[in-house]
Amino acid sequence: MTTQPATAPLRDDEPPVNLWRDAWARLSRNRLAVLSLAIIGLLAFVAVFGPWLTPFDFLSQNLDARNLSPNWVHLFGTDELGRDVFSRVVYGTRTAFVVAIVVTGIAATLGVILGALAGYLGGPFDRFVMWFTDTTMSVPQLLLVVVINASLKPPLVNFMEAQYEATKNGFFRNAIIIDFVLVFGSMALILWPPYARLIRAQVLSIRSRPYVTAARALGLTTPIIIARYIIPNAIGPLIVAISAGLGNAMVLESAFSFLGVGVNPPIPSWGNMISDGLQVWRNHAHLLAAPAIVLGVATIAFSFLGDGLNDALNPRGRK
Amino acid sequence: MSERLLDVRDLKIEIDTRRGRAVVVDGIDLHVDKGETLGVVGESGCGKSLTMLSLVGLLPNRIHTTGGSAHFAGTDLLRMQPAELRAVRGGRIGFVFQDPMTSLNPVMRIGDQLMESLRQHKRLDKAAARQRAGELLKLVGIPGAEQRLESFPHELSGGMRQRVMIAIGLACDPDLLIADEPTTALDVTIQAQIVELVKGLKQRLGMSVVWITHDLALIAGLADRIAVLYAGTVVEDAPAELLFRDPAHPYTRGLLASIPRLHGEDGARLSSIGGTPPEPGRRPQGCPFAPRCPLAEAMCHDIVPALAPLRGVATPHRVACHVANRVREAA
Amino acid sequence: MLLFILKRLGIWVPTVILVVLGVYALAFYGAGDPIKLIFMRAPGDVAYDPVRIEAIREQAGLNQPFLQQFANYLFNALRGNFGNSLVSGRSVWSMVAAAAPVSFQLGLLAITLTAIVAVPLGMIAGMNQNSRLDYAILGAALLVWAIPAYVAGPLLMVFLITVLPGAAVPYGWGGIFDARIILPLVVLSFQPIALIIRQTRAAVIEVLSEDFVRTARSKGLPESVVALRHILRPVLTPIVTQLGLIMISIVNGAIFVELVFGLPGLGRLTVSALTGSDYPIILAITVIGSFLVMASNLLVDVLYPILDPRAADTRSGR
């Protein structure tokens, strides 16, 4: 059994250790997390540049080439309108990423602000925020989105109509915009509570830690304490939550599109592609398989990445 | 002639680190005779707890015994099968741990925790175990023993919890009780009570005790013999009286000198030993204490001193120091 | 103990009412007037007469202030009257009552399956941390969690039909002892099982590093006893608190599972109500769903002191 000599002298060339370097080192050792990061990077690249690089436009129909199985021209085959499935999946990647990033961004911002304020101010505001998050989290997400969607659609449509009347700007007639706003709005409204609770818990616990008391005893002012002590300690769990949140948002978006309350055709979303594919999978399995597999891979990747980040940033959990 | 109950020879323990294996305990020799109380003294990180845990196979993950032997009543504990070792653990060797707050299961009643080992080792039925548990609580001086069996740990004070821990350690009439810093987490007054309790128990039950501590003053009134550990080796091993009267190893002398005295000159500074102990994996060649030792010579940095009787005379007082042994010869 | 339950109820009931209020307000201010909606849907080019509408509204009590309408809704709801479907005209209650047993039975079975499967697997994974077994279990849990129900369902159906050609096509409801329930049950349980495996594993890892486990081992107890008696009990506490989350997962998942496997439950009812914009049904089901989740949270609150004596009231448990 080879061992290092037990009398190795101290090495001065070792770099100083800090949380980020340590976390990155731990993360890069986790091969699964690195693989997931690579996959997500690839998907992100596809989301940004893909639609310009695909041979076919996702809208263009070719009625002579309907329901083709995967071949060299159409890598994933075609659907019942002759559209290239590969291009649609690629565009669906963009949909997924756009929705996930925007929604998570809104939800996280909202959640962090509310949570931080609640934790810091305490009192009745805190109680209200807590009650609000509790009740929001008590309503099953899908049902809540259904209700929000059903409730907000008519007023939104009316609002848009009124704006169109006022400005005669075609922008307001765009059904796609309405879809996206509804999706963003309802998802953000559901997804913010976990961030709020996380940040609030962090603020509360860090506030009472001895080193914050020590900082106060040294005469440091509140903004400095927040910047130097609270934020750096709260960022770790926040990063983990955001990573998991992105994956969650993607799954949610596809679920809603599947149900018809999310992104509707002709804009491709993995969800609505799966929904269409479900009608005909027995004869044309590729229509279901393509978006389903890509969705699955993306979700798993985000999940593993989240786990890896958690291990990297919270080392206490390991033996 | 008292017989040797526990005989540890050349015990080595290593820990897995990212950079390979690091030696934590480097050849420890210890022994306990029947009815004797051995005090194991050393600062944090010197390997005293690990040594004891290794005897009964309770080392945490990534820490392994890599050499030596530990004979307990004839058999080598380090080479026992797990099932055999389990029978010894709790049955013939009892443990008392440091922090009674975290060492007791918070969701189990005290009585159940006591009865567990009784039913495991002594095969008592529920009623008999219950009765014995009550007796044990009385033995360790807990008032209202019968009712206390139903209590949860968080309902007891720190001192009482530690008494319960002692009761658990004693439950199956072990030959040897190993107490790992049992009073470190307690108030000073409670500390004294626990020490008295153990003294009394020792006399009544005639068992051997190993008491691990970093507090020399505490162990003075309790131990028959004291072993001083430093950086994973025994540096001095002597009957208590001899140790305090005539400390030979520079480390021991440093420790004794650093105990604050009630009476002294005004403005006198507390003496302390400069420097810090070596990290595992960064042990110096030669004597581990040499970098901090005021008496160190060239030889000390190269050759590890062996634990040998002081002055080469037949005496139970053993020291691991080149200088101490030589200096005494000259004197 | 009774006092404790009553205290909890005292907080819980207003919360339920407030949640229902919130949902109701959304539907009310958002979707707007039910009567207008009916008219808007009417086939053909019905020019609706404002006077007639007002009359009907007054008759239906829709002129009253919001809170009063809400109070009416609440009272009616407590008596089982959720109004009538906008699409079919049938009472919402009858439609819900027909669909509910299916979903409830499925849900209960799913919870049971989760408890039986996930807890032992999670414990095994936790106690063998970083071993291949651990990775296998974790990997399987993550995989299962990542595949949405509406994807896993059809894929498994295909698999089943191709592998066992004689098996009954898992479509339709035949009661809990019918073989067709197996596949939807499994798919519905995917999410909760994955969640609980991970929670159990994390809890076990945490407990394993506790000192009292070392004490238990120092007593010479066999590892199996240490696992069952000293590790399982403290681990159960955080798991049971997840009951609310499991409930949410099941209510959400039921929608997809019932859709894919053709089960006539509340989930499928929700989807058809959604496509038909049938607000009374949507509202009623949301209220029921939220009620279920909050009921399980209440149950957890009540059970918690029993599981963890440290959290019990000052009147300590005897």
Residue B210's pLDDT band, with cuts at 50, 70 and 90, is: very high
Q: Which helix (H) or strand (E) holds C135?
A: helix C132-146
Which residues from chain C sit within 8 angstroms of residue B117, using beta carbons? 219-221
Cα–Cα distance measured from residue B194 to residue C59, given in angstroms and rounded to the nearest whole number: 83
Q: Kindly indicate the confidence band of residue B40, based on its pLDDT and cuts at 50, 70 and 90.
A: very high
What's the pLDDT at B226? 93
State the Cα–Cα distance between residues A126 and A123, nearest whole angstrom: 5
In this predicted structure, the answer to whether residue B316 has a pLDDT above a threshold of 90 is: no
> Which residues of chain C are within 8 Å of residue A130 when distances are taken between CB atoms?
none
If you average pLDDT over residues B266-277, what whole number do you get?
78
Contact B103 C212 (CB under 8 A): yes
Domain count, chain C: 1
Query: Model confidence at A1, in pLDDT bands (50, 70, 90)?
Result: very low
| Residue C39 belongs to some domain of the structure | no
CATH code for the domain in which residue C144 is found: 1.10.3720.10
Question: Is residue C25 assigned to a domain?
Answer: no
Cα(A109)–Cα(A115) distance, integer angstroms = 10
**Residue whose pair of structure tokens reads 């259904």 in the numeric block:** A146
Please report residues of C whose CB lies closer than 8 A to that of B154: 309-310
Cis geometry, peptide bond prior to residue C65 (ω within 30 degrees of 0): no
A248 located within any domain: yes
Tens digit of pLDDT for each residue in A26-58?
777 778 788 888 999 988 888 888 877 777 777
- pLDDT number for residue C90: 80
Does residue B147 sit at the C interface (CB-CB below 8 Å)?
Answer: no
- Judged by CB atoms closer than 8 Å, whether chains meet at C234 and B150 is answered as no
Largest CA distance in chain C: 86
Per-residue pLDDT, averaged over A311-317, amounts to 65
Cβ–Cβ of C29/A274 closer than 8 Å?
no
Host domain of residue A239: 20-317
What is the pLDDT averaged over residues A285-305?
83
**How remote is the C-alpha of C74 from its chain's centroid?**
22
Does residue C271 lie in a domain region? no
Cα gap B133→A237, rounded to integer Å? 46
Partners of A1 on chain B (C-beta within 8 Å) are 21
**Sheet of B93-96, strands arranged across:** B93-96, B176-180, B208-213, B37-41, B225-230, B233-239, B318-319, B308-309
Q: What DSSP line would sit under C20-49, residue for residue?
A: HHHHHHIIIIII--HHHHHHHHSSS-----
Whole domain around residue C124: which residue ranges?
Answer: 99-263
A15 domain-assigned: no
Establish whether this prediction's ipTM goes over 0.90. Answer: no
Q: Do C202 and A134 touch (CB under 8 A)?
A: no
Partner-chain contact C279 A131, CB within 8 Å? no
Considering only the beta carbons, identify the residue of A4, A9, A10 that sits closest to B20: A4
Kindly determine whether residue A138 and residue C279, on different chains, have CB atoms separated by under 8 Å: no
Does some domain include residue C231? yes
Nearest CA in chain B to C316: B155
B193 interfacial to chain C (CB closer than 8 Å): no
Number of domains in chain A: 1
Structure tokens at A274: 């799966």
Mean of pLDDT values over B294-315? 83
Nearest to B281 among A2, A6, A319 (CB): A6
Per the domain annotation, does C257 fall within a domain? Answer: yes
β-pair partners for B309 = B318
* Predicted pLDDT of residue C33: 57
The Cα A119–Cα C144 span in angstroms is 36
Cβ-based neighbours of A160, under 8 Å, separated by 6 or more:
A172, A173, A177, A178
Residue of chain B whose alpha carbon sits nearest to that of C210: B102
**Coil, strand or helix: which one is B89?**
strand
Cβ-defined contact of C220 to B120 (cutoff 8 Å)? yes
Q: How do residues B241-259 score in pLDDT, each as one tens digit?
A: 888 888 888 888 888 888 7
Distance CA C297, CA B214 (A): 49
SS3 A99: helix
* Exposure b/e, C49-72, CB count within 10 A at least 16 = b: eeeebeeebeeeebeeeeeebbee
Residue A7's pLDDT is 38
Given a cut of 50, whether residue A318 has pLDDT beyond it is: no
Tell me, yes or no, if the pTM score tops 0.80.
no
CATH number at residue A31: 1.10.3720.10
* Record: contact B20-A3, CB cut-off 8 A: yes
- Residue at A3 is within a domain: no
Local confidence band at B209 (pLDDT 50, 70, 90 cut-offs): very high
Amino acid, single-letter form, for residue B128: A
Q: Does some domain include residue A1?
A: no
The residues on C that touch B, with CB distances below 8 Å, are: 210-212, 214-222, 225, 229-230, 233-234, 237, 307-310, 316-318
Q: Is B117 in CB contact (< 8 Å) with chain C? A: yes
Closest CA in chain C for residue A140: C248
Testing the interface with B: which of A2, A7, A22, A319 to mutate, by most B Cβ within 10 A? A7
Does residue C82 sit within a domain? no
Report strand pairing: B225-230 vs B37-41. Answer: parallel
Name the residue facing B19 among A4, A9, A319 (closest C-beta): A4
Nearest Cα residue to C187 out of C164, C156, C159: C156
Q: Do A10 and B23 touch (CB under 8 A)?
A: no
Query: Which of A65-79, C13-27, C250-264 has the highest mean predicted lDDT (pLDDT)?
Result: C250-264
Q: Position of tokens 């804009």? A: A267
Rounded CA separation A81/A165 (Å): 35
> To 10 degrees, the CA torsion angle through C30, C34, C36, C37?
80
Q: Report how far apart the first and last C-alpha atoms of chain C are (Å, whole number).
A: 11
The average pLDDT across C4-25 equals 78
β-partners of residue B211 are B39, B179
pLDDT at A277 over 70: yes
